[in-house]
Structure 1
């Protein structure tokens, strides 16, 4: 008996069947995606606390890019034993000075982002990228942990200065810039950059003399061999109090608590000016957020301990604190600001 094919279904039925199959496949795909997202989210939520809870499982290093005995080293050694106590692991301070802090910064930038290698840096973190043509690291290679402290830079007049009044200096410096030359601890130092920013904002005319550190600068200024200097307030504070030099102005819109008698730029109507420096702790970019958050919380508590606060205040430093995200935004903004100053003034490292 001959076989006859079934009659073809109507066109509308075929279309409906295809649409149903497609809808079913889409639903299956969406269910699969939802399941994957749920699993990944659950895993992330479970892993994040575990990462912070298990950290640290070995000693933590704080790399300091300066020799022992300086301000950054002192602050690091003030924090490290107290942080070790709360973390339950040794916190070791390791000095790696040299190359304008680039040796230490490069080392930490290339370290594993696991919270075991930290960097206690100063403004070189923000200025070096614009200062050096071939730099093996960038500020973006780091994430902030905490903004530790800030300090003021101050314009100081020595005994041989023609004027120690800021308004008079503005009026007279254009006629005789050499008589208003100023020294700093070095070319490209924050003292140098902040004075260049001051000049661009106010019209002050001064010639720069770069020294090799604060010690010879302090000696020459007090001895009358240099009319002016810009330096961090702490380096000049003893001579200011002894009357050997006179503080002209704090390079900030706010007066400094360590020397409240010294006028600020804000007293002369110059707002939104910050020429001071800072110390902060950073970690390699990509360090897990729970680890960064724990370090931020513990170090913030340490900064509020009375003995720590008193020691930091005695150094002419002001505690800042704040979130890790705040500090990351701060040092990246500083890199932009000081980079613009360096390029505009044509400053090159010696």
Structure 2
């Protein structure tokens, strides 16, 4: 009997200690969130410096700094389609001081391409918020004398139609493969080491088509050297209302965007994530940021953490399914 009482006492003490530990942990998290941030925040951009992605990340960091009252530093950790920097952040301390500049390639596409990916786009991160997105455009050189996607599809039945991408497994490549699937067009993929040489060869006549965002092709659209046949957007772009979407032409679920957002390591306190989300949403109203993103053809989109997580989940599933159907690899 005494032994039973002693055992019951030990269980009670353990239960009390567990409750106390949980309470202390919760209090600690609340205190951390209340004082957050107390030091500089780092945004890891998993791509080289100097590109449009890096430029936007730095401007977002600048506007976030105004909201949070601490410096926001951008650190580039490039490699393997954005997976090097993403892995680094997934393994970082979950305190809100290390964030990832997430993108289509690192969170949407990578899980379908890399068999041993060290992170999950859904479970390895807390999703702070979407920053913006830009539809992928289907672009041909004007001298091809083709004005519609339907005409290009018909032309491809008896003529060579090759399209260039930034490399195997890139968003440009996958969009081209998806286009082949929904349209029945006879398209040949030509991988390049980046989007710029692909665009140069399209303009020079070595290939017929490329798939890019408006930022890259705008100068050639304005001079009349290239034209957009369709967009990968869910709806027509306000900047190009005359250009149809692939979705409306073929009546399917075709949507292809280049997007960016902010995520933190899994386990970052919810109150910290909420504070970061509020700061981001306020930063997205900054006139300088809005002007730059509009100039780059990006739609600024505000989301809650839950909405952004849902967005990432759907995007990952979409691209992983396409990669599996088309048997796309990095080789």
TM-score (norm 2): 0.88
| Cα RMSD, aligned residues only | 2.8
Q: Aligned pair 1:199/2:180, yes or no?
A: yes
**2: CA distance, partners of 1:93 / 1:52:** 22
Aligned partner of 2:229 in structure 1 is 248
Residue 233 (structure 1) shift: 2.2
Cα deviation per residue 1:54-97 (whole Å; 9 max; x = unaligned)? Answer: 11222210000111121221111112222223322221110111
Aligned partner of 2:138 in structure 1 is 155
8 Å contact from structure 1 (residues 159, 223) kept in 2: no
8 Å contact from structure 2 (residues 136, 231) kept in 1: yes
- CA gap 1:129/1:266 in 2 versus in 1, 3 angstroms: closer
Aligned partner of 1:146 in structure 2 is 129
Q: Aligned pair 1:317/2:301, yes or no?
A: no
TM-score (norm 1): 0.84
Structure 1, gaps ≥5 residues long: 1-27
Aligned partner of 1:169 in structure 2 is 152
8 Å contact from structure 1 (residues 115, 291) kept in 2: yes
User: What SS is found at the alignment partner of 2:160?
Assistant: helix
**2: CA distance, partners of 1:110 / 1:236:** 37
Which structure: larger Rg?
A: 1
Structure 2, gaps ≥5 residues long: 1-8
Q: Determine which of 76, 83, 104 is the counterpart of 1:102.
A: 83
Residue 277 (structure 1) shift: 1.5
User: What SS is found at the alignment partner of 1:75?
Assistant: helix
**2: CA distance, partners of 1:80 / 1:94:** 11
**2: CA distance, partners of 1:101 / 1:45:** 34
- CA gap 1:241/1:270 in 2 versus in 1, 3 angstroms: farther
**2: CA distance, partners of 1:103 / 1:294:** 27
Residue 208 (structure 1) shift: 0.8
Residue 294 (structure 1) shift: 0.4
Q: Aligned pair 1:133/2:115, yes or no?
A: yes
**2: CA distance, partners of 1:44 / 1:201:** 52
Indicate the larger mover: 287-296 or 32-41: 32-41
Residue 33 (structure 1) shift: 12
